[in-house]
Structure 1
Protein backbone atom coordinates (compact mmCIF):
# COMPACT_ATOMS: atom_id res chain seq x y z
CA UNK A 1 0.00 0.00 0.00
CA UNK A 2 1.28 3.46 -0.91
CA UNK A 3 1.62 6.27 1.63
CA UNK A 4 -1.70 8.01 2.25
CA UNK A 5 -1.81 11.38 0.50
CA UNK A 6 -5.59 11.80 0.27
CA UNK A 7 -7.35 13.54 3.15
CA UNK A 8 -11.09 13.39 2.47
CA UNK A 9 -13.90 13.09 -0.07
CA UNK A 10 -14.75 16.47 -1.61
CA UNK A 11 -17.54 16.10 -4.16
CA UNK A 12 -19.30 13.81 -6.63
CA UNK A 13 -20.12 15.12 -10.12
CA UNK A 14 -23.06 13.82 -12.15
CA UNK A 15 -24.07 14.27 -15.78
CA UNK A 16 -27.84 14.19 -16.28
CA UNK A 17 -30.18 14.50 -19.31
CA UNK A 18 -33.07 16.06 -17.37
CA UNK A 19 -30.97 18.76 -15.77
CA UNK A 20 -33.75 21.02 -14.47
CA UNK A 21 -35.53 18.16 -12.69
CA UNK A 22 -32.27 17.05 -11.02
CA UNK A 23 -31.41 20.58 -9.96
CA UNK A 24 -34.86 21.04 -8.44
CA UNK A 25 -34.44 17.78 -6.50
CA UNK A 26 -30.98 18.42 -5.06
CA UNK A 27 -31.46 22.13 -4.32
CA UNK A 28 -35.03 21.61 -3.09
CA UNK A 29 -36.24 18.53 -1.26
CA UNK A 30 -32.75 17.04 -0.74
CA UNK A 31 -31.56 20.20 1.04
CA UNK A 32 -28.39 21.32 -0.76
CA UNK A 33 -27.64 24.97 -1.59
CA UNK A 34 -27.03 26.08 -5.18
CA UNK A 35 -23.79 28.07 -5.05
CA UNK A 36 -23.44 29.01 -8.70
CA UNK A 37 -24.83 28.01 -12.08
CA UNK A 38 -23.55 28.64 -15.59
CA UNK A 39 -24.43 27.16 -18.99
CA UNK A 40 -25.97 23.91 -17.79
CA UNK A 41 -23.57 23.30 -14.91
CA UNK A 42 -24.53 23.88 -11.27
CA UNK A 43 -22.52 23.55 -8.06
CA UNK A 44 -24.38 22.54 -4.89
CA UNK A 45 -23.01 22.91 -1.36
CA UNK A 46 -23.93 21.40 2.00
CA UNK A 47 -24.50 24.19 4.51
CA UNK A 48 -22.40 22.53 7.23
CA UNK A 49 -19.40 21.76 5.00
CA UNK A 50 -16.32 23.91 4.27
CA UNK A 51 -16.23 22.43 0.75
CA UNK A 52 -17.21 24.84 -2.02
CA UNK A 53 -19.62 22.20 -3.31
CA UNK A 54 -20.43 18.53 -2.68
CA UNK A 55 -22.40 17.81 -5.88
CA UNK A 56 -21.90 19.13 -9.39
CA UNK A 57 -24.65 18.65 -11.97
CA UNK A 58 -23.93 18.92 -15.70
CA UNK A 59 -26.55 18.89 -18.43
CA UNK A 60 -25.72 16.13 -20.92
CA UNK A 61 -27.40 13.83 -23.43
CA UNK A 62 -26.27 10.73 -21.52
CA UNK A 63 -26.42 10.00 -17.80
CA UNK A 64 -22.99 9.26 -16.32
CA UNK A 65 -20.74 9.73 -13.31
CA UNK A 66 -18.45 12.61 -14.35
CA UNK A 67 -15.96 12.26 -11.53
CA UNK A 68 -15.25 11.71 -7.84
CA UNK A 69 -13.05 14.34 -6.18
CA UNK A 70 -10.74 13.94 -3.17
CA UNK A 71 -8.72 16.44 -1.20
CA UNK A 72 -4.99 16.45 -0.47
CA UNK A 73 -3.13 18.38 2.23
CA UNK A 74 -0.89 20.45 -0.06
CA UNK A 75 0.04 21.14 -3.69
CA UNK A 76 3.26 19.23 -3.04
CA UNK A 77 1.24 16.15 -2.11
CA UNK A 78 -0.81 16.55 -5.29
CA UNK A 79 2.36 16.66 -7.37
CA UNK A 80 3.86 13.69 -5.52
CA UNK A 81 0.73 11.62 -6.11
CA UNK A 82 0.70 12.48 -9.81
CA UNK A 83 4.33 11.35 -10.11
CA UNK A 84 3.58 8.11 -8.25
CA UNK A 85 0.55 7.34 -10.42
CA UNK A 86 2.50 7.96 -13.62
CA UNK A 87 5.28 5.71 -12.39
CA UNK A 88 2.67 3.07 -11.57
CA UNK A 89 1.24 3.11 -15.09
CA UNK A 90 -1.95 5.00 -14.25
CA UNK A 91 -3.41 7.06 -17.11
CA UNK A 92 -3.61 10.77 -16.26
CA UNK A 93 -6.44 12.83 -17.72
CA UNK A 94 -4.73 16.12 -16.86
CA UNK A 95 -1.43 17.30 -15.39
CA UNK A 96 -1.27 18.99 -11.96
CA UNK A 97 -2.12 22.66 -12.23
CA UNK A 98 -4.66 25.36 -11.51
CA UNK A 99 -8.24 24.15 -11.08
CA UNK A 100 -10.96 26.34 -12.62
CA UNK A 101 -13.91 25.42 -10.41
CA UNK A 102 -15.38 27.31 -7.42
CA UNK A 103 -12.66 27.75 -4.80
CA UNK A 104 -9.83 27.14 -7.24
CA UNK A 105 -6.92 25.02 -6.05
CA UNK A 106 -4.14 22.86 -7.46
CA UNK A 107 -5.08 19.46 -8.79
CA UNK A 108 -5.28 16.89 -11.58
CA UNK A 109 -7.45 14.05 -12.88
CA UNK A 110 -6.83 10.42 -13.79
CA UNK A 111 -8.67 7.18 -14.55
CA UNK A 112 -9.03 4.48 -11.91
CA UNK A 113 -8.78 0.80 -12.83
CA UNK A 114 -12.46 0.68 -13.87
CA UNK A 115 -12.22 3.83 -16.01
CA UNK A 116 -13.82 6.34 -13.65
CA UNK A 117 -12.43 9.85 -13.64
CA UNK A 118 -10.91 10.69 -10.24
CA UNK A 119 -9.76 14.16 -9.22
CA UNK A 120 -7.36 15.16 -6.44
CA UNK A 121 -7.12 18.83 -5.40
CA UNK A 122 -5.38 20.85 -2.66
CA UNK A 123 -5.51 24.51 -1.64
CA UNK A 124 -9.21 24.98 -2.35
CA UNK A 125 -10.60 28.13 -0.78
CA UNK A 126 -12.81 27.29 2.21
CA UNK A 127 -16.48 28.08 1.80
CA UNK A 128 -18.17 30.05 4.55
CA UNK A 129 -20.29 27.44 6.29
CA UNK A 130 -22.26 27.21 9.50
CA UNK A 131 -23.35 24.92 12.29
CA UNK A 132 -26.53 23.06 11.40
CA UNK A 133 -29.13 23.74 14.06
CA UNK A 134 -31.25 21.28 16.02
CA UNK A 135 -34.18 19.91 13.95
CA UNK A 136 -32.66 21.39 10.77
CA UNK A 137 -32.94 18.38 8.48
CA UNK A 138 -30.48 19.26 5.71
CA UNK A 139 -27.12 17.61 4.89
CA UNK A 140 -24.16 18.69 6.99
CA UNK A 141 -21.63 17.29 4.51
CA UNK A 142 -20.92 14.58 1.96
CA UNK A 143 -20.37 11.33 3.86
CA UNK A 144 -19.25 8.70 1.35
CA UNK A 145 -19.59 7.32 -2.15
CA UNK A 146 -20.14 3.69 -3.16
CA UNK A 147 -19.00 2.44 -6.57
CA UNK A 148 -20.10 -0.66 -8.48
CA UNK A 149 -17.32 -2.80 -9.89
CA UNK A 150 -17.52 -6.08 -11.86
CA UNK A 151 -14.18 -7.13 -10.28
CA UNK A 152 -14.45 -6.28 -6.60
CA UNK A 153 -10.97 -7.28 -5.46
CA UNK A 154 -9.11 -5.86 -8.44
CA UNK A 155 -10.69 -2.48 -7.69
CA UNK A 156 -9.98 -2.77 -3.96
CA UNK A 157 -6.33 -3.64 -4.58
CA UNK A 158 -5.92 -0.75 -7.04
CA UNK A 159 -7.19 1.78 -4.50
CA UNK A 160 -4.97 0.32 -1.79
CA UNK A 161 -1.87 0.27 -3.97
CA UNK A 162 -2.21 3.62 -5.73
CA UNK A 163 -4.20 5.86 -3.37
CA UNK A 164 -3.48 4.51 0.13
CA UNK A 165 -7.00 3.35 0.98
CA UNK A 166 -7.31 0.80 3.79
CA UNK A 167 -9.93 -1.92 4.17
CA UNK A 168 -12.30 -1.40 7.12
CA UNK A 169 -14.85 -4.23 6.70
CA UNK A 170 -16.28 -6.61 4.09
CA UNK A 171 -19.81 -7.83 3.42
CA UNK A 172 -20.22 -11.36 2.11
CA UNK A 173 -23.06 -13.77 1.33
CA UNK A 174 -22.91 -17.58 1.54
CA UNK A 175 -24.07 -17.91 -2.11
CA UNK A 176 -22.53 -14.79 -3.64
CA UNK A 177 -19.22 -14.58 -1.82
CA UNK A 178 -17.71 -11.13 -1.19
CA UNK A 179 -20.15 -8.36 -2.09
CA UNK A 180 -18.79 -5.06 -0.69
CA UNK A 181 -15.54 -3.65 0.67
CA UNK A 182 -15.63 -0.56 2.93
CA UNK A 183 -12.52 1.57 2.35
CA UNK A 184 -11.08 4.48 4.35
CA UNK A 185 -8.51 7.27 4.05
CA UNK A 186 -8.96 8.52 7.62
CA UNK A 187 -10.43 7.28 10.89
CA UNK A 188 -13.91 7.57 9.34
CA UNK A 189 -15.05 3.97 8.76
CA UNK A 190 -15.39 4.57 5.04
CA UNK A 191 -15.34 7.45 2.60
CA UNK A 192 -15.74 4.96 -0.24
CA UNK A 193 -17.08 1.45 -0.63
CA UNK A 194 -16.79 -0.89 -3.58
CA UNK A 195 -19.83 -3.00 -4.39
CA UNK A 196 -19.90 -6.03 -6.65
CA UNK A 197 -22.10 -5.24 -9.63
CA UNK A 198 -22.60 -6.43 -13.20
CA UNK A 199 -20.96 -3.31 -14.65
CA UNK A 200 -19.03 -0.18 -13.68
CA UNK A 201 -21.46 2.40 -12.30
CA UNK A 202 -22.31 4.65 -9.37
CA UNK A 203 -23.94 2.65 -6.55
CA UNK A 204 -24.90 5.50 -4.22
CA UNK A 205 -23.90 8.86 -2.78
CA UNK A 206 -24.40 9.41 0.96
CA UNK A 207 -24.98 12.64 2.88
CA UNK A 208 -24.37 13.12 6.61
CA UNK A 209 -27.16 14.61 8.73
CA UNK A 210 -26.75 16.41 12.08
CA UNK A 211 -28.15 13.60 14.23
CA UNK A 212 -30.85 10.95 14.50
CA UNK A 213 -33.75 13.38 14.70
CA UNK A 214 -32.58 15.37 11.70
CA UNK A 215 -31.91 12.16 9.77
CA UNK A 216 -35.48 10.95 10.42
CA UNK A 217 -37.02 14.34 9.64
CA UNK A 218 -35.09 14.54 6.37
CA UNK A 219 -36.07 11.01 5.41
CA UNK A 220 -39.71 11.84 6.11
CA UNK A 221 -39.55 15.02 4.03
CA UNK A 222 -38.25 13.17 0.97
CA UNK A 223 -40.87 10.44 1.43
CA UNK A 224 -43.68 12.99 1.71
CA UNK A 225 -42.43 14.70 -1.44
CA UNK A 226 -43.17 11.46 -3.30
CA UNK A 227 -39.65 10.33 -4.19
CA UNK A 228 -39.14 6.61 -4.22
CA UNK A 229 -37.65 5.14 -1.04
CA UNK A 230 -35.68 1.99 -1.80
CA UNK A 231 -34.55 0.91 1.65
CA UNK A 232 -34.72 2.14 5.23
CA UNK A 233 -34.84 3.68 7.69
CA UNK A 234 -32.44 1.38 9.53
CA UNK A 235 -28.95 1.03 10.97
CA UNK A 236 -26.13 -0.95 9.37
CA UNK A 237 -23.71 -3.10 11.36
CA UNK A 238 -20.63 -2.32 9.24
CA UNK A 239 -19.97 1.36 9.97
CA UNK A 240 -22.78 1.46 12.56
CA UNK A 241 -24.46 4.23 10.56
CA UNK A 242 -28.13 4.89 9.88
CA UNK A 243 -29.52 4.64 6.35
CA UNK A 244 -32.43 5.64 4.18
CA UNK A 245 -31.94 5.21 0.43
CA UNK A 246 -33.90 7.05 -2.26
CA UNK A 247 -33.80 7.29 -6.06
CA UNK A 248 -33.12 10.73 -7.51
CA UNK A 249 -35.08 11.70 -10.67
CA UNK A 250 -32.59 9.90 -12.93
CA UNK A 251 -32.36 6.69 -10.95
CA UNK A 252 -29.17 7.39 -9.01
CA UNK A 253 -29.35 6.15 -5.43
CA UNK A 254 -28.81 8.77 -2.71
CA UNK A 255 -28.69 8.19 1.03
CA UNK A 256 -29.24 10.11 4.23
CA UNK A 257 -27.05 8.82 7.05
CA UNK A 258 -25.65 9.83 10.42
CA UNK A 259 -23.32 8.59 13.18
CA UNK A 260 -20.87 6.79 10.88
CA UNK A 261 -18.32 4.96 13.03
CA UNK A 262 -14.96 6.56 13.85
CA UNK A 263 -12.17 3.99 14.20
CA UNK A 264 -8.94 3.67 16.15
CA UNK A 265 -6.85 2.88 13.09
CA UNK A 266 -3.94 1.55 15.14
CA UNK A 267 -6.01 -1.26 16.62
CA UNK A 268 -8.71 -1.85 14.00
CA UNK A 269 -8.99 -5.23 12.30
CA UNK A 270 -11.42 -5.70 9.39
CA UNK A 271 -14.48 -7.87 9.92
CA UNK A 272 -16.23 -10.08 7.38
CA UNK A 273 -19.99 -9.79 7.90
CA UNK A 274 -22.56 -12.20 6.45
CA UNK A 275 -25.28 -9.91 5.13
CA UNK A 276 -27.74 -12.80 4.80
CA UNK A 277 -28.11 -12.25 8.57
CA UNK A 278 -30.78 -9.56 9.02
CA UNK A 279 -28.99 -7.86 11.93
CA UNK A 280 -26.00 -7.16 9.64
CA UNK A 281 -27.98 -5.15 7.10
CA UNK A 282 -30.19 -3.52 9.75
CA UNK A 283 -29.45 -3.67 13.47
CA UNK A 284 -32.77 -2.05 14.33
CA UNK A 285 -35.01 -4.29 12.23
CA UNK A 286 -37.02 -1.28 11.07
CA UNK A 287 -36.08 -1.25 7.37
CA UNK A 288 -37.86 -3.21 4.67
CA UNK A 289 -36.10 -6.55 4.11
CA UNK A 290 -33.10 -6.45 1.78
CA UNK A 291 -33.69 -8.64 -1.28
CA UNK A 292 -32.42 -9.06 -4.83
CA UNK A 293 -34.86 -6.50 -6.24
CA UNK A 294 -33.66 -3.83 -3.81
CA UNK A 295 -30.03 -4.71 -4.51
CA UNK A 296 -30.56 -4.37 -8.27
CA UNK A 297 -31.89 -0.82 -7.88
CA UNK A 298 -28.37 0.32 -6.99
CA UNK A 299 -26.69 -1.49 -9.89
CA UNK A 300 -27.66 1.65 -11.81
CA UNK A 301 -27.32 2.02 -15.57
CA UNK A 302 -24.09 1.14 -17.39
CA UNK A 303 -21.81 4.16 -16.92
CA UNK A 304 -21.21 5.93 -20.25
CA UNK A 305 -18.18 7.72 -18.81
CA UNK A 306 -15.81 4.74 -18.53
CA UNK A 307 -12.36 5.83 -19.80
CA UNK A 308 -13.99 8.95 -21.24
CA UNK A 309 -13.03 12.11 -19.36
CA UNK A 310 -15.86 14.59 -18.73
CA UNK A 311 -15.70 17.67 -21.01
CA UNK A 312 -15.40 20.02 -18.02
Structure 2
Protein backbone atom coordinates (compact mmCIF):
# COMPACT_ATOMS: atom_id res chain seq x y z
CA UNK A 1 0.00 0.00 0.00
CA UNK A 2 1.33 3.43 -0.98
CA UNK A 3 1.56 5.75 2.04
CA UNK A 4 3.61 8.58 0.52
CA UNK A 5 1.51 11.26 -1.19
CA UNK A 6 3.90 13.81 -2.70
CA UNK A 7 7.27 15.55 -2.70
CA UNK A 8 7.49 18.38 -0.13
CA UNK A 9 10.95 19.97 -0.25
CA UNK A 10 14.63 19.50 -1.10
CA UNK A 11 17.24 20.80 1.36
CA UNK A 12 20.74 21.86 0.35
CA UNK A 13 23.90 22.70 2.29
CA UNK A 14 26.19 25.21 0.60
CA UNK A 15 29.51 26.92 1.46
CA UNK A 16 28.63 30.21 -0.25
CA UNK A 17 25.29 30.67 1.49
CA UNK A 18 24.72 34.35 0.66
CA UNK A 19 25.31 33.83 -3.06
CA UNK A 20 22.93 30.87 -3.14
CA UNK A 21 20.25 32.74 -1.19
CA UNK A 22 20.50 35.67 -3.61
CA UNK A 23 20.09 33.27 -6.53
CA UNK A 24 17.09 31.30 -5.27
CA UNK A 25 15.24 34.26 -3.75
CA UNK A 26 16.17 36.56 -6.63
CA UNK A 27 16.40 35.47 -10.25
CA UNK A 28 15.04 31.93 -9.64
CA UNK A 29 11.86 33.37 -8.14
CA UNK A 30 11.33 31.73 -4.74
CA UNK A 31 10.16 33.62 -1.65
CA UNK A 32 12.09 33.54 1.62
CA UNK A 33 9.48 32.83 4.31
CA UNK A 34 11.66 32.13 7.36
CA UNK A 35 15.32 32.27 8.30
CA UNK A 36 17.67 31.65 11.18
CA UNK A 37 21.43 32.00 11.50
CA UNK A 38 22.74 30.44 8.28
CA UNK A 39 19.44 28.75 7.37
CA UNK A 40 16.77 29.95 4.95
CA UNK A 41 13.38 28.47 4.03
CA UNK A 42 12.14 29.30 0.52
CA UNK A 43 8.56 28.84 -0.72
CA UNK A 44 6.94 28.82 -4.15
CA UNK A 45 4.22 31.47 -4.56
CA UNK A 46 1.69 28.97 -5.92
CA UNK A 47 2.33 26.10 -3.50
CA UNK A 48 0.61 25.29 -0.18
CA UNK A 49 3.88 23.76 1.08
CA UNK A 50 5.51 25.86 3.79
CA UNK A 51 8.75 25.76 1.82
CA UNK A 52 10.13 23.80 -1.13
CA UNK A 53 13.87 24.54 -0.71
CA UNK A 54 15.90 24.90 2.46
CA UNK A 55 19.39 26.38 2.28
CA UNK A 56 21.90 25.82 5.08
CA UNK A 57 25.37 27.29 5.39
CA UNK A 58 28.05 24.61 5.75
CA UNK A 59 31.72 24.10 4.87
CA UNK A 60 30.66 21.18 2.64
CA UNK A 61 28.33 21.18 -0.35
CA UNK A 62 25.78 18.40 0.15
CA UNK A 63 22.17 17.32 -0.24
CA UNK A 64 20.83 17.65 3.32
CA UNK A 65 17.58 15.79 2.75
CA UNK A 66 14.56 15.08 0.58
CA UNK A 67 11.15 15.37 2.24
CA UNK A 68 7.96 13.57 1.20
CA UNK A 69 4.44 13.94 2.55
CA UNK A 70 2.10 11.33 4.02
CA UNK A 71 -1.65 11.63 4.58
CA UNK A 72 -1.83 11.10 8.36
CA UNK A 73 0.38 10.65 11.43
CA UNK A 74 -0.80 7.02 11.47
CA UNK A 75 0.69 6.59 8.00
CA UNK A 76 3.97 8.12 9.24
CA UNK A 77 4.01 5.62 12.11
CA UNK A 78 3.23 2.74 9.75
CA UNK A 79 6.09 3.71 7.44
CA UNK A 80 8.53 4.04 10.33
CA UNK A 81 7.55 0.61 11.62
CA UNK A 82 7.80 -0.90 8.14
CA UNK A 83 11.26 0.57 7.55
CA UNK A 84 12.55 -0.34 11.01
CA UNK A 85 11.35 -3.93 10.65
CA UNK A 86 13.08 -4.15 7.25
CA UNK A 87 16.39 -3.05 8.78
CA UNK A 88 16.46 0.44 7.26
CA UNK A 89 18.61 2.77 9.40
CA UNK A 90 16.35 5.32 11.10
CA UNK A 91 17.87 8.69 11.99
CA UNK A 92 14.92 9.68 14.17
CA UNK A 93 11.66 8.15 15.33
CA UNK A 94 8.29 9.78 14.55
CA UNK A 95 7.67 12.94 16.51
CA UNK A 96 6.88 16.64 16.36
CA UNK A 97 8.78 18.67 13.74
CA UNK A 98 10.10 22.13 14.60
CA UNK A 99 10.49 23.39 11.02
CA UNK A 100 8.04 25.97 9.56
CA UNK A 101 4.52 24.54 9.56
CA UNK A 102 5.36 21.97 12.23
CA UNK A 103 3.93 18.53 11.63
CA UNK A 104 4.79 14.99 12.59
CA UNK A 105 7.58 13.03 10.96
CA UNK A 106 10.81 11.07 11.04
CA UNK A 107 14.04 10.64 9.06
CA UNK A 108 16.07 7.72 7.73
CA UNK A 109 18.84 6.86 5.27
CA UNK A 110 17.97 5.45 1.86
CA UNK A 111 20.04 2.72 0.21
CA UNK A 112 22.72 5.20 -0.94
CA UNK A 113 22.92 7.09 2.35
CA UNK A 114 20.74 10.09 1.55
CA UNK A 115 18.63 11.49 4.35
CA UNK A 116 14.89 11.21 3.67
CA UNK A 117 12.10 12.73 5.78
CA UNK A 118 8.44 11.67 5.81
CA UNK A 119 5.89 13.97 7.43
CA UNK A 120 2.17 14.58 7.91
CA UNK A 121 0.02 17.29 9.50
CA UNK A 122 2.24 20.11 8.25
CA UNK A 123 0.23 23.33 8.23
CA UNK A 124 -0.67 24.65 4.78
CA UNK A 125 0.86 27.92 3.68
CA UNK A 126 -1.32 30.73 2.34
CA UNK A 127 -0.55 30.77 -1.37
CA UNK A 128 -2.06 32.28 -4.50
CA UNK A 129 -2.87 31.62 -8.13
CA UNK A 130 -0.15 33.00 -10.37
CA UNK A 131 -1.09 35.53 -13.01
CA UNK A 132 -0.47 35.20 -16.77
CA UNK A 133 3.18 35.96 -17.68
CA UNK A 134 4.25 35.61 -14.03
CA UNK A 135 7.31 33.47 -14.55
CA UNK A 136 8.17 32.25 -11.04
CA UNK A 137 7.78 28.65 -9.79
CA UNK A 138 4.28 27.49 -8.92
CA UNK A 139 5.54 24.47 -7.00
CA UNK A 140 8.30 21.90 -6.67
CA UNK A 141 7.91 19.38 -9.51
CA UNK A 142 10.43 16.58 -8.96
CA UNK A 143 13.94 15.64 -7.86
CA UNK A 144 16.41 13.41 -9.70
CA UNK A 145 19.20 11.55 -7.88
CA UNK A 146 22.44 10.07 -9.18
CA UNK A 147 23.11 6.50 -8.07
CA UNK A 148 25.90 4.09 -9.00
CA UNK A 149 23.43 1.17 -9.17
CA UNK A 150 20.14 2.56 -10.44
CA UNK A 151 18.38 -0.80 -10.44
CA UNK A 152 19.17 -1.39 -6.76
CA UNK A 153 18.10 2.14 -5.80
CA UNK A 154 14.90 1.87 -7.85
CA UNK A 155 14.06 -1.46 -6.18
CA UNK A 156 14.71 0.04 -2.73
CA UNK A 157 12.23 2.89 -3.33
CA UNK A 158 9.65 0.48 -4.74
CA UNK A 159 10.03 -2.01 -1.88
CA UNK A 160 10.23 0.31 1.10
CA UNK A 161 8.36 3.48 0.07
CA UNK A 162 5.82 2.22 -2.46
CA UNK A 163 7.07 4.16 -5.47
CA UNK A 164 6.00 2.85 -8.89
CA UNK A 165 8.05 2.80 -12.09
CA UNK A 166 6.62 5.05 -14.82
CA UNK A 167 9.25 4.81 -17.58
CA UNK A 168 12.92 4.02 -18.17
CA UNK A 169 15.53 5.67 -20.38
CA UNK A 170 18.02 3.30 -21.94
CA UNK A 171 20.55 3.25 -24.76
CA UNK A 172 22.36 0.59 -26.80
CA UNK A 173 25.70 1.84 -25.46
CA UNK A 174 25.02 2.61 -21.81
CA UNK A 175 22.12 0.34 -20.87
CA UNK A 176 19.55 1.77 -18.46
CA UNK A 177 20.35 5.39 -17.56
CA UNK A 178 17.25 6.68 -15.73
CA UNK A 179 14.19 5.32 -13.92
CA UNK A 180 11.19 7.66 -13.51
CA UNK A 181 9.33 6.92 -10.26
CA UNK A 182 5.94 8.12 -9.04
CA UNK A 183 4.11 8.33 -5.71
CA UNK A 184 0.91 9.80 -7.21
CA UNK A 185 -0.52 10.16 -10.77
CA UNK A 186 2.21 12.66 -11.69
CA UNK A 187 4.59 10.87 -14.10
CA UNK A 188 7.50 11.30 -11.70
CA UNK A 189 8.17 12.99 -8.39
CA UNK A 190 11.49 11.16 -8.19
CA UNK A 191 13.90 9.78 -10.78
CA UNK A 192 17.05 7.73 -10.37
CA UNK A 193 19.87 8.51 -12.83
CA UNK A 194 22.97 6.44 -13.56
CA UNK A 195 25.97 8.31 -12.18
CA UNK A 196 29.52 7.58 -11.06
CA UNK A 197 28.71 8.46 -7.44
CA UNK A 198 25.85 9.31 -5.09
CA UNK A 199 24.82 12.94 -5.68
CA UNK A 200 22.01 15.29 -6.63
CA UNK A 201 21.26 15.23 -10.38
CA UNK A 202 18.72 18.06 -10.50
CA UNK A 203 15.77 19.74 -8.80
CA UNK A 204 12.82 20.69 -11.01
CA UNK A 205 10.36 23.55 -10.52
CA UNK A 206 6.93 23.78 -12.19
CA UNK A 207 5.89 27.05 -13.83
CA UNK A 208 2.34 28.20 -14.64
CA UNK A 209 2.37 27.28 -18.34
CA UNK A 210 4.38 27.29 -21.57
CA UNK A 211 4.41 31.10 -21.85
CA UNK A 212 5.58 31.56 -18.27
CA UNK A 213 8.17 28.79 -18.71
CA UNK A 214 9.64 30.63 -21.72
CA UNK A 215 9.56 34.00 -19.97
CA UNK A 216 11.36 32.41 -17.01
CA UNK A 217 13.93 30.75 -19.25
CA UNK A 218 14.59 34.08 -20.93
CA UNK A 219 14.90 35.89 -17.61
CA UNK A 220 17.54 33.42 -16.44
CA UNK A 221 19.47 33.75 -19.70
CA UNK A 222 19.40 37.55 -19.50
CA UNK A 223 20.67 37.37 -15.92
CA UNK A 224 23.79 35.57 -17.11
CA UNK A 225 22.86 32.28 -15.40
CA UNK A 226 24.41 29.41 -17.33
CA UNK A 227 21.87 27.21 -19.14
CA UNK A 228 23.31 23.78 -19.86
CA UNK A 229 20.39 22.27 -21.79
CA UNK A 230 17.14 23.54 -23.29
CA UNK A 231 14.60 24.78 -24.00
CA UNK A 232 12.95 21.55 -25.13
CA UNK A 233 10.32 18.92 -24.38
CA UNK A 234 11.13 15.43 -23.12
CA UNK A 235 9.30 12.32 -24.37
CA UNK A 236 9.13 10.53 -21.01
CA UNK A 237 6.77 12.67 -18.92
CA UNK A 238 6.07 14.95 -21.92
CA UNK A 239 7.34 17.94 -19.91
CA UNK A 240 9.29 20.98 -21.05
CA UNK A 241 12.82 21.57 -19.79
CA UNK A 242 15.40 24.31 -19.32
CA UNK A 243 18.35 23.25 -17.15
CA UNK A 244 20.54 25.80 -15.40
CA UNK A 245 23.41 25.68 -12.90
CA UNK A 246 23.01 27.37 -9.53
CA UNK A 247 26.07 29.20 -8.09
CA UNK A 248 27.43 25.98 -6.56
CA UNK A 249 27.01 23.81 -9.65
CA UNK A 250 23.74 22.11 -8.71
CA UNK A 251 21.49 21.62 -11.74
CA UNK A 252 18.04 23.21 -11.44
CA UNK A 253 15.23 22.99 -13.98
CA UNK A 254 12.28 25.04 -15.09
CA UNK A 255 9.49 22.80 -16.42
CA UNK A 256 5.78 22.70 -17.11
CA UNK A 257 3.05 20.33 -18.32
CA UNK A 258 4.45 17.18 -16.70
CA UNK A 259 2.14 14.31 -17.63
CA UNK A 260 -0.48 12.95 -15.24
CA UNK A 261 -1.04 9.22 -15.71
CA UNK A 262 -4.04 6.94 -15.46
CA UNK A 263 -2.34 4.62 -13.00
CA UNK A 264 -4.85 1.81 -13.55
CA UNK A 265 -3.95 1.47 -17.23
CA UNK A 266 -0.39 2.80 -17.45
CA UNK A 267 2.38 0.40 -18.45
CA UNK A 268 6.04 1.50 -18.11
CA UNK A 269 7.94 1.97 -21.36
CA UNK A 270 11.63 1.85 -22.22
CA UNK A 271 12.77 4.79 -24.35
CA UNK A 272 16.01 4.81 -26.34
CA UNK A 273 17.98 7.74 -24.94
CA UNK A 274 20.22 7.82 -28.03
CA UNK A 275 17.30 8.93 -30.21
CA UNK A 276 17.09 12.76 -30.41
CA UNK A 277 13.29 12.81 -30.26
CA UNK A 278 13.37 10.98 -26.92
CA UNK A 279 15.48 13.60 -25.18
CA UNK A 280 13.78 16.52 -26.97
CA UNK A 281 10.56 16.11 -28.98
CA UNK A 282 10.71 19.70 -30.24
CA UNK A 283 14.30 19.58 -31.50
CA UNK A 284 14.95 23.06 -30.08
CA UNK A 285 17.47 22.16 -27.35
CA UNK A 286 21.18 21.72 -27.86
CA UNK A 287 21.86 17.97 -28.38
CA UNK A 288 22.43 15.88 -25.26
CA UNK A 289 26.11 14.94 -25.05
CA UNK A 290 28.74 13.75 -22.56
CA UNK A 291 29.55 17.29 -21.41
CA UNK A 292 25.93 18.00 -20.45
CA UNK A 293 25.69 14.62 -18.73
CA UNK A 294 28.84 15.30 -16.70
CA UNK A 295 27.47 18.64 -15.46
CA UNK A 296 24.55 16.77 -13.88
CA UNK A 297 26.81 14.14 -12.26
CA UNK A 298 27.55 16.91 -9.75
CA UNK A 299 30.22 16.60 -7.05
CA UNK A 300 30.22 13.46 -4.89
CA UNK A 301 27.78 14.08 -2.03
CA UNK A 302 29.61 14.83 1.26
CA UNK A 303 26.50 13.94 3.27
CA UNK A 304 26.24 10.22 2.53
CA UNK A 305 25.21 8.37 5.73
CA UNK A 306 25.78 11.59 7.72
CA UNK A 307 22.55 13.11 8.99
CA UNK A 308 22.28 16.91 8.64
CA UNK A 309 22.62 18.82 11.94
CA UNK A 310 19.12 20.32 11.60
Q: TM-score, normalised by structure 2?
A: 1.00
**2:38 is equivalent to residue 37 of structure 1:** no
C-alpha distance in 2 between matches for 1:98 and 1:36 = 19
3-state DSSP class of the match of 1:287? coil
3-state DSSP class of the match of 1:167? strand
2:167 alignment partner, one of 155, 158, 169: 169
Q: Deviations over 1:59-98 (max 9, x none)?
A: 0000000000000000000000000000011000001000
| Count of residue correspondences | 310
C-alpha distance in 2 between matches for 1:37 and 1:80 = 32
C-alpha distance in 1 between matches for 2:273 and 2:240 = 16
Provide the residue aligned with 2:257 in structure 1: 259
Provide the residue aligned with 1:187 in structure 2: 185
3-state DSSP class of the match of 2:7? strand
Structure 1 unaligned segments of length 5 or more: list them: none
Q: Displacement, 1:202?
A: 0.2
3-state DSSP class of the match of 1:58? strand
Task: Give the root-mean-square deviation of aligned CA atoms.
Answer: 0.3
2:134 alignment partner, one of 133, 136, 139: 136
Provide the residue aligned with 1:89 in structure 2: 87
2:14 alignment partner, one of 16, 19, 23: 16
Q: Deviations over 1:264-292 (max 9, x none)?
A: 00000000000100000000000000000
C-alpha distance in 2 between matches for 1:193 and 1:132 = 27
Q: Deviations over 1:187-246 (max 9, x none)?
A: 000000000000000000000000000000001001110011000000000000000000
Q: Displacement, 1:28?
A: 0.2
Q: Displacement, 1:44?
A: 0.1
Provide the residue aligned with 2:221 in structure 1: 223
2:233 alignment partner, one of 225, 232, 235: 235
Provide the residue aligned with 1:306 in structure 2: 304
C-alpha distance in 2 between matches for 1:96 and 1:221 = 42
Provide the residue aligned with 1:106 in structure 2: 104
Provide the residue aligned with 2:50 in structure 1: 52
Q: Displacement, 1:106?
A: 0.2
Provide the residue aligned with 1:212 in structure 2: 210
C-alpha distance in 2 between matches for 1:234 and 1:227 = 18
1:247 alignment partner, one of 233, 245, 248: 245
Q: How does 1:138-153 map to 2 (within 5 A)?
A: 138-153=136-151
C-alpha distance in 2 between matches for 1:39 and 1:94 = 23
C-alpha distance in 1 between matches for 2:78 and 2:218 = 45
C-alpha distance in 1 between matches for 2:188 and 2:130 = 23
C-alpha distance in 2 between matches for 1:104 and 1:138 = 26
1:157 alignment partner, one of 134, 155, 158: 155
